[in-house]
Amino acid sequence: MSFPGSTVIGALPRRYRGIVVELLGDRAPDLLAALRTQAKPTLAQHEAVLEVLAGAFVDHLGPWEEPTPRGALIDDALGAFLERWPAEDLTER
């Protein structure tokens, strides 16, 4: 059994966890399943999360390329993920 904070998903701030789970569940369910069991993402998983969240952010740009409220939430979630797991701290495995 894993505890909140002991997995990649559990360690995300609660206010961003839902949007990350939703987006990964829709766009990369296998990645989500892995991140629910691991304490730290691999570099490849890190890049995949960035790809999913960045793609979702672009999907939520409004007029004049300004993010919608959902786009701003996705951007903040991406920032929280990057702050928690900087790429330079990760390995390939």
Name the amino acid, one letter, at 52: V
Instruction: Classify residue 1: in a domain, yes or no.
Output: no
For residue 68 the two structure tokens come to: 């919608």
Predicted pLDDT at 40: 94
For residue 18 the two structure tokens come to: 């839902």
CA angle 50/87/75 to nearest 5° reads: 35
pLDDT band per the 50, 70, 90 thresholds, residue 87 = confident
> How many distinct structural domains can be found in the chain?
1
Q: C-alpha distances in angstroms, 21 versus 1, 10, 36, 73, 88?
A: 19, 10, 9, 13, 24
Structural domain harbouring 56? 8-89
Instruction: Classify residue 62: in a domain, yes or no.
Output: yes
Instruction: Classify residue 80: in a domain, yes or no.
Output: yes
Instruction: Classify residue 3: in a domain, yes or no.
Output: no
pTM: 0.89
Instruction: Classify residue 30: in a domain, yes or no.
Output: yes
Instruction: Classify residue 43: in a domain, yes or no.
Output: yes
Tell me the pLDDT tens digit for each residue of 30-85. 999 999 999 999 999 999 999 999 999 999 999 899 999 999 999 999 999 999 99
24, 49 in Cβ contact below 8 A?
Answer: yes
Instruction: Classify residue 2: in a domain, yes or no.
Output: no
Instruction: Classify residue 23: in a domain, yes or no.
Output: yes
